Chains A and B, each alone.
Chain A
């Protein structure tokens, strides 16, 4: 089993690369087959080339501008993610221990997951008087739901016999939490983190729109959207950068997960 694992992984990676190549070929094929102009679907290389050219007269190359914007947005998403993750973890832990809180509040946490949260983005911007903090706050709002729910489920997941064992040691609630409940909850928490990683980026980008924040990817997308007719490849490049940020967030969380859970056999 062990000996074949690396080989399997390479073949998997190869298959994934092939799919990416196939998608790129499909892109170009669709363009040719439906005779789409640059406005509808630019050539892939046009997007790549646009990265090297300045977006504004005498400005830096587009890639530099986009990287700066990505960094800016990533900051908002990261702060939002951190705030949301901590809040979600604390709430989930609290719910797992205090049954009355769980029964009275969790239904609302679950119900609010079905609510289009981003709809209140314009309100948050007003509350925070258009400051940059509305970006992380909205990102945090999207992050905390999945983390709360999964922390709660994970904390309640240990085998009742394991809990009895801790009881037989007369372990304190605190010890049971750190030695049993928390490790048992980790896989579920990381699942939530992976979902939240994506939504925090979505939240940051969307929050920039009503907040009128210009420096981030949301601002860039809005800006290049206005010049779409003259330079569609720039909007595409901005979107690609947003995709990259989303993927990087996910990959980083997945990598941390792999390290954190390496000793937990699944």
Chain B
């Protein structure tokens, strides 16, 4: 909080922008100079032109995948928050549930993708949404429980001095206290949900989905197309993350986020 001279934004971002441009230029030059075959690494210009040609297909595939990721994110995160809230009253349930949740969180949930395909059919979006729900549920629940319980004891004592009900302690102390934790979970889950949706498609999905498209183009040695799709996927991931951060800044302005 010391008053430092505010650096002008351009000079602040200079190193990053320099790196970005340098990497792109070096990539293009090296690929052309060494005549690196397209199947190993296409030059940025080639990827860009591939993106322009295949734009509508990629966009359609991306929309399908993004929809699944968003729906799964919404359902998984809400379920995680609700379960955490429900268990916040019962210490025993919570303490029993938390290690199990941490254990489940450490298993490769993506391995359930074939099961989901068998349940719903691989062309049914629900098979992907289910995986995203599972992937986002546990981090959200674990973080929310932590946020609800890791409250400064003096705050609880203050509330006790006001003789308030448990419900008011929840709404006035625990829930606001949990918000930064919940948003941390959202940040993690924003990328997890996209990864989950794409990788679930590797196990089978409709032709017009990012995962199937990337895999297929790679197998057909059309790497420029595959890279174009990967770039779209990356942009979606960054955009999703940016949205979460923006909402976080709006909703919890008191919290100084580390990112």
A157 CB to closest chain B CB (Å) equals 11
Interface size for chain A: under 10, 10 to 19, 20 to 34, or 35 or more residues?
Answer: 35 or more
A159 CB to closest chain B CB (Å) equals 16
B188 CB to closest chain A CB (Å) equals 9
A197 and B108 CA atoms in complex are apart in Å by: 11
Partner of B106, one of A217, A228, A249: A249
B77 at interface, CB cutoff 8 A: no
Interface residues of B in 195-220 (CB under 8 A from A): 195, 198-199, 202-203, 210-211, 214-215, 218-219
Name which residue of chain A comes closest to B192, CB basis. A116
A16 CB to closest chain B CB (Å) equals 5
A238 and B108 CA atoms in complex are apart in Å by: 12
Partner of B218, one of A122, A197, A238: A122
Using Cβ atoms and an 8 Å threshold, which residues of chain B touch A14? 96
A249 and B107 CA atoms in complex are apart in Å by: 9
Interface size on B, residues (CB 8 A): 57
Interface residues of B in 214-241 (CB under 8 A from A): 214-215, 218-219, 223, 226-227, 229-230, 233-234, 237-238, 240-241
Partner of A239, one of B106, B111, B195, B202: B111
* Chain A CB within 10 Å, residue with most, of B112, B114, B241: B114
What DSSP secondary structure best describes chain B's contact surface?
A: helix
Interface residues of A in 205-232 (CB under 8 A from B): 205-206, 209-210, 217, 221-222, 225, 228, 232
B165 at interface, CB cutoff 8 A: no
Interface residues of A in 149-171 (CB under 8 A from B): 153
Name which residue of chain A comes closest to B217, CB basis. A122
A173 at interface, CB cutoff 8 A: no
Q: A115-B238, A123-B223 are in contact. Are A209 and B108 (CB under 8 A)?
A: no
A-B contact pairs, 27 of them (CB 8 A): A15-B96, A16-B95, A39-B118, A40-B119, A108-B19, A108-B20, A114-B190, A114-B191, A114-B234, A114-B240, A115-B237, A116-B233, A116-B234, A119-B210, A119-B230, A120-B230, A127-B40, A197-B106, A198-B108, A202-B108, A206-B199, A222-B203, A228-B114, A243-B107, A243-B111, A246-B107, A250-B102
| Sample of 8 more A-B contacts, CB < 8 Å, known A127-B41, A205-B111 | A14-B96, A15-B92, A19-B97, A123-B230, A202-B108, A205-B108, A243-B107, A250-B102
